[in-house]
Amino acid sequence: MTRLVTAIAALLASAGAASAQVRIKDVTDVAGARSNQLFGFGLVVGLDQTGSRSTFTQQTAVDMLQRLGHSTGIFSQLPSESVLRSTSISAVMVVAEIGPFARKGSRIDVTVSALDDARSLQGGTLIFTTLRGADGQVYALAQGPLSVGGFSANAGGGTGVQKNHVNVGRIPGGGIVEKEAPGEVIKNGQATLLLKEPDFNTSRLIAKVVNERFPGTAAAVDPGAVALCPPADPLKSATVFLAEVGLLEVRPDVPARVVFNERTGTVVVGENVSIATAGVSHGNLYIGIGLTPTVSQPAPFSGGVTTVVPQAQVNTAEQRARLIVLPKSTTVGEVSRALNALGVTPRDLISIFQTLKQTGALHAELVIQ
């Protein structure tokens, strides 16, 4: 464990020293260039007896067939020859995302999820399904065979094996755009960059870098937005201008942050985390439980037999605590080396960081996942 913590400390130190610039397009989004979510309700057919047996699904299939001009019913409602008794169908929800610049006739990926008690969608085919937006209008149509990233096998008697989720599948390119949802990136001759991580200094740096390349075209509006005014150049469109701006590099100002994942014991320390001078004493309580066999001898003439009875023994011992002085640190490497000197595990680091924060010695934001 000590070697693992040492390796993590070395990796963090090298990552902090090698902090490089990134492209503006990787830390910002263009206002107006957003995707829209679509959803729909449909039927999957062709399942190998793994479909739903619910009345809800059977009725949905009957309704679809009646819209196609076929007269039929459900067995439980109409005990005749013209009934539907199928376990090869499943009622599903279909979701997709349409990009801001998707044109009519473009294809999009769709995700299909079972809505009923179907055991698996493997081998099924989605029947013609309309996909609507939040405004209720139809933006795409979906249909095609499903690709399920898993399998399920049953040997009867309730025993079986399953890998991954078999009630969710995807249809790559299974949706066709019928109505465009164009994005509007230029409004009144101005575009806006939205920062993915709002920060005053990062917003200022982006405006500075853009103005160095295109003088007088950028201004930091607030921590989350930078306004751009494309130059009046007849040889350069707004699309070309935004493309060149996106390729410019900037070094974003990363906030001092320590992120904990208590479920996995993962600790990630940001580059700008610093610790004021503090003394830390850390000792673990060791608890050991063992069984010692003892012989139980019965009383004379009692008719009993000699038996071996285990006796539980509980021992507690506290490891010798060491008081270590953490000097004032300015880099993540120094923080890692100082805490690594304690020889603690990642879960112990969580407790130490929380205690340092309470004393005011840790200058960083704590994020617990």
Please state, in angstroms and as integers, the Cα–Cα distance from residue 261 to each residue in 4, 265, 336, 362, 363, following that order: 17, 6, 17, 18, 19
**Residue 82 in tokens:** 């013209």
Q: What's the mean pLDDT in 256-260?
A: 84
Q: What percent of the chain has pLDDT over 90?
A: 31
Tell me the one-letter amino acid at 324. I
pLDDT of residue 246: 92
**Dist. CA 341–CA 275, nearest whole Å:** 15
For residue 312, count CB atoms less than 10 angstroms from its CB and return exposed for 0-12, middle for 13-18, buried for 19 or more.
exposed
- Inform me whether the pLDDT recorded for 210 exceeds 70: yes
Task: Write phi, then psi, for 171 (nearest 5 degrees).
Answer: -125, 95
**Whether pLDDT at 77 is above 60:** no
Residue linked to tokens 């937006």: 133
pLDDT attached to residue 339: 65
pLDDT in tens, 225-238: 999 998 877 667 88
**Of the listed ranges 151-160, 223-232, 277-286, 330-339, the one predicted with least confidence:** 151-160
pLDDT recorded at residue 137: 93
- β-pairing verdict for 168-177 and 138-145: antiparallel
Q: Give the pLDDT score at 266.
A: 78
Q: Give the model's pLDDT for residue 82.
A: 46
Residue whose C-alpha is closest to residue 262's, from 353, 365, 358, 346: 346
CB 157 within 8 A of CB 120: no
Q: Are strands 257-261 and 365-368 parallel, antiparallel or unpaired?
A: parallel
Mean pLDDT of the chain: 78
**In Å, how far from its chain's centre is CA 276?**
34
Report whether pLDDT(27) > 80: yes
